[in-house]
A and B are shown apart, each in its own frame.
Chain A
Amino acid sequence: MSDEQPVLETHDLAKRYGRRTWALTGIDLAIPQGGITALVGPNAAGKSTLIKTWVGFERPTRGSVTVGGIDPWKDRSGVLGLVGYVPQAPALYDGLSVEDHLDLAVHLRPDFDRVYARTRLDLLGIPAEQGAKSLSGGQQAQVALALALGTRARILLLDEPLASLDPLARREFLHVLTDAVRSDGATALLSSHIVTDVEQACDRLVVLGVGRILLHDGVASSLASHWIATDGADAVGAATIGSFGGPGGERLTLLRGTPASPATVDLRQATLEEVVLGYLASARPVIGLAAA
Chain B
Amino acid sequence: MTLRGWRLAFKMQRLELLLFVAAAVLVTIASLLIAWGASEARASFDACYEAAGTDAKCGTSPSLNDFSMWGGFARISAFITPFALGLILGIPVVAREVEGRTAPIAWTLSRSRSRWLIQRVIPLVVVVIVLAVAVGIGSEFVTRTNPFADLASNPGFADYTARGWMLPVRALAALLLGIAVGAMVPRQLPALLLSGAVTLALFVGLSIGIDTWMTAEAKPIPLVETRFGPIADGPRIFDIAYREDATGKLISENDFYTRYEDVFAPDGEMPEGFTQVAIGIPGTEYAVWAVRESAILGVLALASGGLAIAVVRRRRP
> Chain A: residues with CB nearer than 8 A to chain B?
52, 55, 57-58, 76-77, 80-81, 83-85, 87, 89-96, 100, 103-109, 112, 144, 147, 151
Shortest C-beta distance, A198 to chain B (Å), equals 21
**Contact in complex: A55, B102 (CB < 8 Å):** no
A107/B8 contact (C-beta < 8 A), A57-B316, A81-B111, A91-B100 known: yes
- Contact of A107 (CB < 8 Å), options: B2, B14, B102, B316: B2
Interface centre among A58, A90, A91, A107 (most CB of B within 10 A): A107
List 6 contacting pairs A-B, 8 Å CB cutoff, sorted by A. A57-B316, A57-B317, A91-B100, A92-B102, A103-B7, A108-B119
Q: Is the CB of A96 within 8 A of B12?
A: yes
Which B residues, 1 to 48, have Cβ-Cβ distances below 8 Å to chain A?
2, 4-5, 7-8, 11-12, 14-15
Neighbouring B residues of A104 by C-beta, 8 Å: 8, 106, 109
Could you say which interface size class chain B belongs to?
20 to 34
**How far, in angstroms, from A52 to B11 measured CA to CA in the complex?**
29
Knowing A58-B316, A81-B111, A147-B109 are in contact, say whether A107-B119 is a contact too (CB < 8 A). yes
CA distance A187 to B240 in the complex (A): 79
Q: Which residues of A contact B8 (CB under 8 A)?
A: 96, 100, 103-104, 107
- Whole-angstrom distance from the CB of B6 to the nearest CB of chain A? 10
| B101 engages A100 (CB within 8 Å) | no
Identity of the chain B residue whose Cβ is nearest the Cβ of A105 in the assembled complex? B109
Do the beta carbons of A108 and B14 come within 8 Å of each other? no
What is the 8 Å Cβ interface bit string for chain B, positions 102-134, against chain A (1 contact, 0 not)?
A: 101111111110001001000000000000000
Q: With A57-B107, A147-B109 given, can you name 20 additional A-B contacts, CB distance below 8 Å?
A: A57-B104, A57-B317, A85-B104, A87-B104, A87-B105, A90-B101, A90-B105, A91-B102, A93-B102, A95-B11, A95-B12, A95-B14, A95-B15, A96-B12, A100-B8, A107-B8, A108-B106, A108-B116, A144-B105, A147-B105
* Chain B contact surface mostly: helix
| B51-72 Cβ-contact flags toward A at 8 Å (1 or 0) | 0000000000000000000000
The residue in chain B whose Cβ has the minimal distance to the Cβ of A112 is B109
Interface residues of B (CB under 8 A from A): 2, 4-5, 7-8, 11-12, 14-15, 100-102, 104-112, 116, 119, 316-317
Contact of B100 among A52, A58, A77, A94 (CB under 8 A): A94
* Smallest CB separation, A86 vs chain B (Å): 8
Closest B residue to A84 by beta carbon equals B108
Contact present for B4 and A85 (CB under 8 Å): no
Residue of chain A at shortest CB distance from B5: A107
Q: Which residue in B101, B110, B119 is a CB contact (below 8 Å) of A87?
A: B101
Point out the residues of chain A lying under 8 angstroms from B106, CB to CB: 104, 108
Closest to B101 in A: A91
Min Cβ gap B120→A in Å is 10
| Cα of A215 to Cα of B35 in the assembled complex, Å | 78
- Min CB distance A67 to B, Å, is 12
Which of A58, A84, A87, A109 has most chain B Cβ within 10 Å? A87
Query: Contact at B111–A77, with CB atoms within 8 Å?
Result: yes
Query: In the complex, A84→B105 CA distance in Å?
Result: 9
**Which B residues lie within 8 Å of A52 (CB)?**
316
Measured in the bound complex, the distance between the Cα atoms of B106 and A21 in whole Å is: 28
Contacts of B107 in A (CB 8 A): 57
A55 touches B100 (CB 8 A): no
Expressed in whole angstroms, the Cα–Cα distance for A80 and B107 within the complex equals: 9
In the A-B complex, the 5 residue pairs with the smallest Cβ-Cβ separation, listed nearest first, are A91-B101, A87-B104, A108-B110, A85-B108, A108-B109
Q: Is B112 a contact of A55 with CB atoms below 8 Å?
A: no
B116 → chain A closest CB, angstroms? 6
Q: Tell me if A96 and B11 are in contact (CB < 8 A).
A: yes
A150 → chain B closest CB, angstroms: 9
Tell me the minimal C-beta distance from A97 to chain B in angstroms. 9
- Does A106 contact B4, Cβ atoms closer than 8 Å? yes
Instruction: For residue A218, give the distance in angstroms from its CB to the closest CB of chain B.
Output: 28
For B5, what are the chain A residues with a Cβ–Cβ distance below 8 Å? 107
Q: Is the CB of A80 within 8 A of B108?
A: yes
Partner of A80, one of B15, B101, B111: B111
- Please, which residues of chain A bring their CB within 8 A of the CB of B108? 55, 80, 83-85
CA distance A85 to B101 in the complex (A): 13
Q: Roughly how many angstroms separate A92 CA and B102 CA in the complex, as a whole number? A: 6
A residues near B119, Cβ cutoff 8 Å = 107-108
